[in-house]
Amino acid sequence: MRRLLLASLLIFVFWPLVHAAPPAKPPVIEVPNADNSAEQLAKHYVVLVSIDGFRYDYAKLYGASHLDAMAKDGASAPGGMLPAFPSVTFPNHYTLVTGLYPAHHGIVAMSFYDPARKERYAFNDAKTVADGSWYRGVPLWSLAEKQGMRAACFFWPGSEAEIAGKRPSYYLKYDDTVPDDDRVDQVVEWLKLPAEKRPHFITLYFGEVDHAGHEYGPDAAETRAAVRHVDGEIGTLRSKLRKLHLPIDLVVVSDHGMAKEQGDWMDLDQYADFSGMQTAGALMYPDSEEAAAKLYAKLRIANGKFTVYRQNRMPAELNYTGEPRIGDPVVVATGPYSIRVHGPDDPTKSHAPNKGVHGYDPSVVPEMRAIFYAEGPDIRKGEVLKPFENVGVYPFLAEILGLDAPATDGNASVLEPALIAAH
Ligand SMILES: [Zn+2]
């Protein structure tokens, strides 16, 4: 009896404690990279923030006052920044830091198959995410480290892998539960390090606006609340950065926007036979030219929610060709529809499409357009930019940091108007 009482007391005392404890913060991983070189010590700093799924018009729509203030104090693109196709998270984050279209940097979708490797990459597979052999290009943090400048990533697709022979000096394993305040505080801590250790290029990532947009739709009160919350984090970050009295350029972008989903799942396997074939989402990988031609013929006469192309006949403006990881043929949705080859094998795991969706061609579904804001010592005050492709961000940031950048798909002239001369 006494034992039982003790046991129940213990449970009473410890159970709520255990459950009330905040989730353990993942540790910052430190890489023994060289200190900042003498040349790099004199350079400015860039904090690159991504707000996943922040549509180009959300700030105006939902009153994001801190982002509005950034537009006034710096440069912005009120008509949006154009994501690369497909307008999804991993391909576009990696495009932003490499200046390469997805077909060129290799991360062509959230999940895909590589017919040459006979292996699959998936955004939610910790092993492939951290395996540098999947990634091409030279991400900005690797470019910086190669040239004697330290970098740090508080989350960014690709940042957990060694790419182009380098890793950022500081990074973390992705964990969605880390509170946004902690993310901001860590970035500020990095900027308080002694100058020789202090990273000059830092990434920071917020996921909440994308989550709310998917679950409730872009027009929902919950999405407005998420926008206001993350805008508040931007406000906190701005005021904390100002107090450091360092020459910091703050750049806030998103990977893509969000559209209201229309209709139910469109399963492609009602039109053609995919049995025994590798597939990933709506991507398909027949193992012969004959099989690819057959799929194309069947899907071409299917209903009007998509257009199907042979991979070598993709519209040039999508820049989505020449990479076997894309599969063949390629189905391109003609509206905000949820298309896949087939539903889950286990029908109990089936669920309705999300209320908010993305992944579409921004010239067909304008809600895909993303945001761009920049302010700081290198940025022109009040500069209003016309919509531009996000491959332009890489040469722009390399120029601010004074790094020698390789040729990419991005053109430095695109964001030149945002820069104060003398570069
Ligand atoms: Zn998303």
pLDDT digits (tens, 9 = 90+) for 156-165: 999 999 999 9
Residues 62, 144 within the same domain: yes
End position of a domain, from candidates 357, 376, 410: 357
Ligand 1 center to residue 71 CA distance, Å?
A: 25
Per-residue pLDDT averaged across 306-333, rounded? 97
Question: What percent of the chain is predicted at pLDDT more than 90?
Answer: 90
Domain extent, residue 289, equals 266-357
Residues 148, 164 within the same domain: yes
Domain annotation covers residue 127: no
Top pLDDT among 303 and 16 is at 303
Ligand 1 center to residue 110 CA distance, Å?
A: 10
Ligand 1 center to residue 225 CA distance, Å?
A: 17
Specify the range with the lowest mean pLDDT, choosing from 69-83, 141-155, 295-309, 385-399: 295-309
Per-residue pLDDT averaged across 77-93, rounded? 98
In contact, 202 and 153? CB cutoff 8 Å:
yes
Q: Please give the single-letter amino acid code of residue 365.
A: V
Residues 367, 347 within the same domain: no
Distances (CA, A) of 235 to 68, 78, 240, 251: 10, 19, 9, 13
Domain annotation covers residue 2: no
Q: Is residue 264 exposed (0-12), middle (13-18) or buried (19+ Cβ within 10 Å)?
A: exposed
Residues 63, 183 within the same domain: yes
Residues 39, 168 within the same domain: yes
User: How far is it, in rounded angstroms, from Cα 315 to Cα 77?
Assistant: 26
Ligand 1 center to residue 259 CA distance, Å?
A: 11
End position of a domain, from candidates 357, 392, 407: 357
Ligand 1 center to residue 107 CA distance, Å?
A: 15
Structure tokens at 214: 């998917």
What CATH number does residue 244 fall under? 3.40.720.10
What sign for the dihedral angle of Cα 16, 17, 21, 24? negative
Omega of the bond leading into 27 within 30 degrees of 0 (cis): no
For residue 127, the cross-strand partners are none
Ligand 1 center to residue 357 CA distance, Å?
A: 7
Residue 169, pLDDT above cutoff 90? yes
Omega of the bond leading into 353 within 30 degrees of 0 (cis): no
Residues 151, 185 within the same domain: yes
Residues 369, 303 within the same domain: no
Q: What is the pLDDT of residue 16?
A: 40
Q: How confident is the model at residue 21 (pLDDT cuts 50, 70, 90)?
A: low
Residues 84, 186 within the same domain: yes
Ligand 1 center to residue 210 CA distance, Å?
A: 5
Domain annotation covers residue 130: no
Residues 62, 170 within the same domain: yes
For residue 266, the cross-strand partners are 339
Ligand 1 center to residue 417 CA distance, Å?
A: 30
State if pTM tops 0.85. Answer: yes
Domain annotation covers residue 126: no
Residues 148, 206 within the same domain: yes
Ligand 1 center to residue 74 CA distance, Å?
A: 27
A 10 A CB-CB count for 297 gives: 12
Residues 352, 377 within the same domain: no
Ligand 1 center to residue 391 CA distance, Å?
A: 19
Ligand 1 center to residue 352 CA distance, Å?
A: 16
Residue 26: CA atoms inside 13 Å, Cβ hemisphere, count? 16
What CATH number does residue 296 fall under? 3.30.1360.180
End position of a domain, from candidates 357, 374, 390: 357
Ligand 1 center to residue 29 CA distance, Å?
A: 26
Residues 195, 58 within the same domain: yes
Residue whose C-alpha is closest to residue 201's, from 396, 342, 410? 396
Residue 208, pLDDT above cutoff 50? yes
Domain annotation covers residue 231: yes
State how many domains the chain has.
2
Q: What is the pLDDT of residue 344?
A: 87
DSSP state of 18: H
CA angle (140 as vertex; 180, 102 as ends), nearest 5:
90
Distances (CA, A) of 75 to 182, 199, 343, 349: 27, 24, 44, 45
Q: Which residues contact 211 (CB under 8 A, 6 or more apart)?
A: 53, 226
Domain annotation covers residue 56: yes
Domain annotation covers residue 1: no
Domain annotation covers residue 111: no
Ligand 1 center to residue 156 CA distance, Å?
A: 14
Ligand 1 center to residue 154 CA distance, Å?
A: 18
Ligand 1 center to residue 49 CA distance, Å?
A: 16
